[in-house]
Amino acid sequence: MSRAVLLGENMTLRLGDHAPDFISDSTEGTIAFHEYLGDSWGVLFSHPKDFTPVCTTELGEVARLIGEFERRHTKVLGVSVDSVTSHQDWCDDIKDVTGHSLNFPLLGDPDRIVASLYGMIHPFADSSLTVRAVVVVSPRKTVELLMNYPMNTGRNFTEILRALDSLQLTARHPVVTPANWRPGDEVLVAPAVSTADAAVRFPQGYRVVKDYLRYTPQPGL
């Protein structure tokens, strides 16, 4: 029987919050969340229920992309209110439908402790199942991104990778990313960087569109 031990207070998560720690059973054994992440980034995402069509395609897609997450020094964990035994029984279907075997931990959360801790149950959507939530956690164990999709809409995990690229880039450099940015595109000099500092920080140069909007090549390329 699965179990989860709550190590923090139940709370409504906000960007910048300390990501609550927990211990939970999973398809890969007991997971102590913060210890498991170590110095990696983390993506914790919920699916409403095992043996359902959208969830099956999503889990297979994450399995297909796991190398992309690893390349970004990011560990992925799935969670739903189903048990670990149910997850394990479902694995064959995921491989049969998508061609990809489960290669990351799925947390069992039948008591809805992790789901409640991370705000993954929305009572007006469903009082017993999780929505399709995504939480990105930094190596400092802070919440850096929150996304919620309804049960009927599958997620675009390519977009989640793109957002992760932006989070990691802007954590390393004083830049922000514009609309529809993709890795390799120009970025924007962060507003807090003065004109004098920009000349030093961005020796590759930058172009001014407005005094508050300055494009520069992506650092590190």
User: Does a structural domain hold residue 18?
Assistant: yes
With a pLDDT cut of 90, the percent of the chain lying above it is: 89
The mean pLDDT of 4-28, rounded to a whole number, is 79
Same-domain status, 121 and 206: no
Same-domain status, 92 and 148: yes
Read off the CATH number of the domain in which 49 is found.
Answer: 3.40.30.10
Q: CA 175 → CA 50, 131, 194, 216, 218, distances in Å?
A: 40, 32, 12, 9, 9
Same-domain status, 58 and 112: yes
pLDDT of residue 128: 85
User: Does a structural domain hold residue 166?
Assistant: no
Same-domain status, 124 and 179: no
User: Does a structural domain hold residue 80?
Assistant: yes
Same-domain status, 110 and 136: yes
Band (pLDDT 50/70/90 cuts) for residue 7 is very low
User: Does a structural domain hold residue 180?
Assistant: yes
Query: Of 155, 188, 205, which residue constitutes the final position of a domain?
Result: 155
> Of 4, 19, 44, 55, which one is the catalytic site residue?
55
User: Does a structural domain hold residue 165?
Assistant: no
Mean of the per-residue pLDDT values of the chain = 93
User: Does a structural domain hold residue 205?
Assistant: yes
Same-domain status, 181 and 138: no
The mean pLDDT of 119-134, rounded to a whole number, is 91
pLDDT of residue 11: 55
Residue 5 predicted with pLDDT over 60: no
91 catalytically annotated: no
- Looking at residue 102, the DSSP 8-state letter turns out to be -
Give the amino acid at 126.
D
Same-domain status, 194 and 109: no
- Written as one string, the DSSP assignment of 98-123 is HS----S-EEE-TT-HHHHHTT---T
Q: CA 98 → CA 26, 51, 62, 122, 123, distances in Å?
A: 21, 13, 10, 29, 31
Residue 8 predicted with pLDDT over 80: no
User: Does a structural domain hold residue 160?
Assistant: no
Domain carrying residue 57: 4-155
Number of domains in the chain: 2
Structural tokens at position 82: 């189903």
